[in-house]
Amino acid sequence: MSKYHFNDTEDNNDYPDHVLEALEKIEDLKLEGKHKESIEMAEGLLCEDPDCVAALEEIADNYVSLESFKSAEKAALHALKLDKDSYIAHYILGFIHSHHQDWENALDELTVSNKIHPNNAEILRCLGWAMFNSKKRTQGIVILERSLSLDADNSLTLCDLGVCYLQTKDFEKSIHLLQKAMEIDPSNERVQECYRAAKNFSDRYSILTKNEPRKTTKKTPYRRSFI
């Protein structure tokens, strides 16, 4: 299943009814995990209308889910040639850059996507993660918290935020968020791995702080005044 989903019905209102029906079917196939079928149907739609930006966005989206990032990038760039304000295309490019840990370019693309389509939980999640990894930790956490407020049960956001708090040594918050992520998505291996890491670091940190020698202040010797 696709890692993310945008409700872009309003953006597609300019398309004729038969194209809207096709796009809906393409989206359904994608959400069912039938990515190849979804791509084939979107490509068929492009043969009919080569300027259908939504079809290119769906193709890029499906290729991201298949981890075929070069194909996803090609489709997203093509979409931007037709519509420079395709926030989904900008988002997908930002997602790909993040995957390759190219944080500078990821931030550029995700910032544009967020500017075009603000207050979208998924865009904010990726923007916050890229921001945090660009050494703008406080800003990154604030943006991730904003994403979580818009989609409180998103296990991906909970996990990302949990990892951020782990790296800033706020173990209590980290463990709480990762526990919630496990409850929502118990089969997610990344969440499980991050939770184990958080618990391990928390336990080790507690032992280290307990074993640290207490700092003692030197007492100044008593001097009798003869004045």
Per-residue pLDDT of the chain (227 residues; tens, 9 = 90+): 344 555 454 566 678 899 999 999 999 999 999 999 999 999 999 999 999 999 999 999 999 999 999 999 999 999 999 999 999 999 999 999 999 999 999 999 999 999 999 999 999 999 999 999 999 999 999 999 999 999 999 999 999 999 999 999 999 999 999 999 999 999 999 999 999 999 998 888 777 766 655 554 554 444 433 33
Cβ neighbours around 196 below 10 Å, total: 11
Q: What's the rounded Cα separation, in Å, for the pair 22 and 29?
A: 11
Contact 111, 136 (CB under 8 A): no
pTM of the predicted protein model: 0.85
Give Cβ neighbours of residue 109 (< 8 Å, ≥ 6 apart): 90, 91, 93, 94, 97
Q: Which class in CATH covers the domain with range 12-81?
A: mainly alpha
Chain mean position to CA 101 = 13
Token pair 């409700």 in the structure block, residue: 7
> What pLDDT is stored for residue 201 in this prediction?
86
How many CA atoms lie less than 13 Å away from 172 in the CB half-sphere? 1
Contact 159, 190 (CB under 8 A): yes
How many CA atoms lie less than 13 Å away from 34 in the CB half-sphere? 11
Q: Kindly state the helix (H) or strand (E) to which residue 181 belongs, with its residue range.
A: helix 171-184
> What pLDDT is stored for residue 210 in this prediction?
66
